């Protein structure tokens, strides 16, 4: 069973990196992971995304879904203009940008990361790590940001994905990857 477990949850199975982010204001994250595509569904509260290209920050609330075509950096925050205090430099790897953040304390359990275990602002982050030949046509056809507002779409996948993120079982990453693909 150990061999099966390491195969199902190992690097070969990880087409995507997923984490649930739980934050309490003030918070701001510089996303510098160079991911080809990220899927960001808001579970609760609100967030702002600053594209860092001179355009206005975008506001999101619970139920909204954002798809970001990389690899350009952006900032996610609880308020527009909030200076980042942590940077995501690779899926699952972050570094503090000031002395107030201790990154290790931001690990809140199974696939959960943030500054407060019961923070009101919660969203999922699904980053695809590679842009293979098969997906290149899709990436090339997407605008930099695709925004689906909570009143414009409905999917039973989001609550299912959020629930499955909390599980830590053999093969769980394969389940999460397929749910992310469907979403």
Q: Tens of pLDDT along 109-153? A: 777 888 888 999 999 888 877 666 446 777 788 899 999 999 998
- State the CB neighbour count (10 A cutoff) for residue 66: 20
In which domain, by residue range, is 69 found?
A: 15-154
Distance, in Å, from the CA atom of 8 to the CA atom of 5, rounded to the nearest integer, reads 5
- CATH number of the domain within which 21 lies: 2.60.120.10
Structural domain tally of the chain?
A: 1
- Residue 45's SS3 state is coil
Any domain includes 175: no
Residue 165 has pLDDT above 60, yes or no: yes
Quick check: is 86 in a domain?
yes
* Rounded-to-integer distance, Cα 109 and Cα 114, Å: 10
Q: Bridge-partner residues for 16, per DSSP?
A: 128
**171 located within any domain:** no
* Higher pLDDT among residues 58 and 157, named by residue: 58
Do the domain assignments include residue 62?
yes
Map tokens 């009101």 to a residue.
Answer: 120
Reported as a single tens digit per residue, the pLDDT across 59-109 is 999 999 999 988 899 999 999 999 998 888 876 677 777 766 555 667 777
The helix (H) or strand (E) run that includes residue 16 is strand 16-23
160 inside domain: no
Give the pLDDT of residue 33.
Answer: 87
């Amino acid at each position: 069973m150990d061999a099966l477990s390491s195969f199902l949850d190992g690097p070969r199975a990880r087409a995507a990196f997923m984490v649930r982010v739980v934050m309490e204001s003030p918070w701001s994250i510089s996303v510098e992971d160079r991911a080809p595509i990220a899927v960001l569904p808001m579970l609760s509260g609100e967030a702002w995304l600053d594209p860092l290209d001179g355009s206005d920050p975008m506001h999101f609330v619970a139920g909204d879904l954002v798809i970001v075509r990389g690899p350009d950096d952006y900032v996610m925050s609880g308020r527009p203009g909030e200076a980042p205090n942590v940077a995501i430099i690779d899926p699952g790897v972050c570094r503090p940008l000031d002395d107030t953040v201790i990154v290790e304390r931001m690990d809140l359990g199974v696939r959960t990361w943030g500054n407060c275990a019961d923070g009101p602002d919660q969203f999922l982050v699904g980053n695809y790590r590679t842009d293979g030949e098969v997906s290149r046509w899709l990436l090339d056809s997407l605008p930099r940001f695709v925004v689906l507002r909570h009143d414009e779409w409905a999917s039973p996948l989001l609550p299912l994905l959020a629930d499955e993120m909390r599980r830590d079982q053999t093969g769980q990453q394969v389940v999460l990857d397929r749910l992310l693909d469907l979403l």
